Amino acid sequence: MIEKRSIGVSGLLVRPIGLGCMPLSLKGRFPDGYGVSVLCAALDAGMDFLDTADVYCIDHTDVGHNERLIAKALGEWKGDSTSIVVATKGGLERPGGAWIVNAGPDHLETACEASLKALELETIALYYLHAPDPEVPLAESVGALAKLREKGKIQHIGLSNVSVTDIRLASSIVPIVSVQNRCNPFDREAWQQGVISHCEQNGIAFIAYSPVGGGTGKVRSKQHPALCRVGQRYDVTPFQIALAWLLRKSSNLIAIPGASRMKSAVDSAAAMNIILSDNDMAELDHAFPST
């Protein structure tokens, strides 16, 4: 039995590897029917945490695509959909396909309402500020999320793409249960800048996105000698070793690898069963120092 991990003090418990759903909705995506199949395969493989955002789409005409896809998949999945935790985000826009930050209170309220409709929910279990907005004081953005929580639109609040200073400020306004930053063997700033240790010390879950490298970083993972050597010992892929390494590094960490194909989703879920030895951890820690 795979032990579940807590999303901070929210009371939400999920398995340590969830699905980053963004690849299912970007330019060049597969038809929606296949996207639903990928989501259902991930759920069948044991994932119970789906990460999305309103802007996981092609452009401004397509906002909410990923959320609608998840709603459709949960409606078709043969399992208990009430056991699945869905997290989404607000605070970005996609004009003409660009990625633009807009964490103004009015935009966040509108975005949250649209996400509720797209996900076919009355309340969102976990809602993130997608990124701090340099044009809007962070306290105003977080304050807007606090008001949405008071109204019952969202249950718990998270932050994404933030520093320790951001987390401290936000936490002084409203309870923060989760922080989602980029983290993988090649991107270790979350350790080096103290974000993971701060989360560990303050009961905040750390959600690692792009945990096997993301985009071109996947090539580095696939070819890295240490990941390949350890993978051969367990008869698994270098990607699965990267995930297993992250999970062993911190019991507070939950990884959300992306997937656009069923096999990728199933393989990522299988990494939850890999328990790396102390010797293998030492080899990987030497290859990827986190301090």
Long-range contacts of 77-84 (CB under 8 A, 24+ apart): 77/39, 77/40, 77/43, 78/40, 79/43, 79/44, 83/48, 84/43, 84/48, 84/49, 84/50
Catalytic residue list contains 56: yes
For strand 205-209 and strand 176-182, is the pairing parallel, antiparallel, or unpaired? parallel
DSSP state of 97: G
Q: Are 174 and 145 in contact (CB under 8 A)?
A: yes
Orientation of helix 65-76 relative to helix 32-44, angle to 10°? 60
Instruction: Determine which one of 34, 56, 128, 209 is catalytic.
Output: 56
Q: Are 74 and 115 in contact (CB under 8 A)?
A: no
Orientation of helix 262-270 relative to helix 32-44, angle to 10°? 20
Give the torsion through C-alpha atoms of 198, 201, 207, 209, to 10 deg: 30
Cβ neighbours around 279 below 10 Å, total: 10
The position carrying tokens 């949405």 is 148
Q: Are 32 and 71 in contact (CB under 8 A)?
A: no
Residues belonging to the active site:
56
